[in-house]
Amino acid sequence: MTHRKRQGHGTRGCYQRGCRLPECELANYRYGKQLGLDHAQGVYREQDATEARAHMEKLFALKWRQADIARATEISTSLISLIANGQKATSAANVAAILAVPITPVVRPGPQARVPAIGSTRRLRALATLGHTWVSLMSETGITNDRLGDIARGILDGVRPEEAQVIARTYRRLCNVKGHCAQVAGCAAGKGWHGPLAWDDIDDPAAKPEPCDPYRPIAKNGRDSMRRQEIQHLLDCGESVASIAKQMHANEKYISDLVSQGVPAGYQTAA
């Protein structure tokens, strides 16, 4: 089985996966300009697909399926189907990837373990309420934006363990970081999605979100009293007392006292 290296930021491959960072858009623009110049000079980047198709026929004779070839080559199943059904040309990279598949009986992976998707779904929805887009989270997680969208919409009952782990890590890192897209945040709110502070146990299927994430601060002794749940949430996210104090514009002793006392004096939820 061959593996082609995933192209990172600043490449056309990254742009084609949906990333719209300036460096990726520039790489795609340059590719298009160079491609147009090459075509004007009679230089084409596609190769005859006959040899690749003949190679695939040998694989089909050994019980390979189009999906198996797509997985082995990291080429989309739809393109493999087009080549198998007579497409005359394809990229040189595609031809090389197909020809690199050894003519041996197919070995298919067993069924992959899955973990419940509910925690991942809630985490992605919570990040969306903060204004994080699927494209930005794709660069953080390495999971495609389409896959992230499917998980967030709740159409999957299970996800791969490694997906759940990377989403959880990303959530811990970004659950207190405001995203850059107000439109996404507004859309998430319109769908009734809940932010990070809504959950006592985000992985518990029986957990019910609080009816309202935002809270109304109450002035006390020249500073705002803060909800215990938010402090506990930040602690669960791995934040230090010093970091929590900085984010809440309070001194460290005040936060330490609240943590040691449990529910702080002056605690009040928003009405």
Residue 87 pLDDT level (bands cut at 50, 70, 90):
very high
Distance CA 4, CA 156 (A): 28
Amino acid at 252: E
For the whole prediction, is pTM greater than 0.75? no
Query: Is residue 203 in a domain?
Result: no
> What is the predicted pLDDT for the residue at 19?
86
Query: Is residue 149 in a domain?
Result: yes
Distance CA 231, CA 95 (A): 56
Tens of pLDDT, residue by residue over 164-179, are 999 999 999 898 888 8
Q: State the average pLDDT over residues 253-268.
A: 56
Tens of pLDDT, residue by residue over 177-193, are 888 888 888 899 889 99
Give me the percent of the chain exceeding a pLDDT of 70. 77
Q: How far is Cα of residue 23 from the mean position of the Cα atoms in its chain? A: 20
Strand partners, 101: none
Q: State the average pLDDT over residues 43-54.
A: 84
> What is the predicted pLDDT for the residue at 229?
61
Give 139: exposed, middle or buried? Use CB within 10 Å, 0-12, 13-18, 19+: middle
Domain count, the chain: 3
User: Does pLDDT of 238 surpass 90?
Assistant: no
The dihedral region occupied by 93, where left means phi > 0, alpha psi between -120 and 50, and beta the remainder, is alpha
Supply the mean pLDDT for the chain.
80
Written as six digits, the tokens of 198 are 């809504």
Query: Is residue 6 in a domain?
Result: no
Give me the percent of the chain exceeding a pLDDT of 90. 28
CA distances from 40 to 36, 43, 67, 88, 265 (A): 6, 7, 36, 21, 75
User: Does pLDDT of 43 surpass 70?
Assistant: no
Query: Is residue 172 in a domain?
Result: yes
Q: How far is Cα of residue 72 from the mean position of the Cα atoms in its chain? A: 23
Query: Is residue 4 in a domain?
Result: no
Query: Is residue 72 in a domain?
Result: yes
Give 192: exposed, middle or buried? Use CB within 10 Å, 0-12, 13-18, 19+: exposed
Residue 130 sits in the same domain as residue 68: no
Query: Is residue 189 in a domain?
Result: yes
* Domain carrying residue 231: 218-261
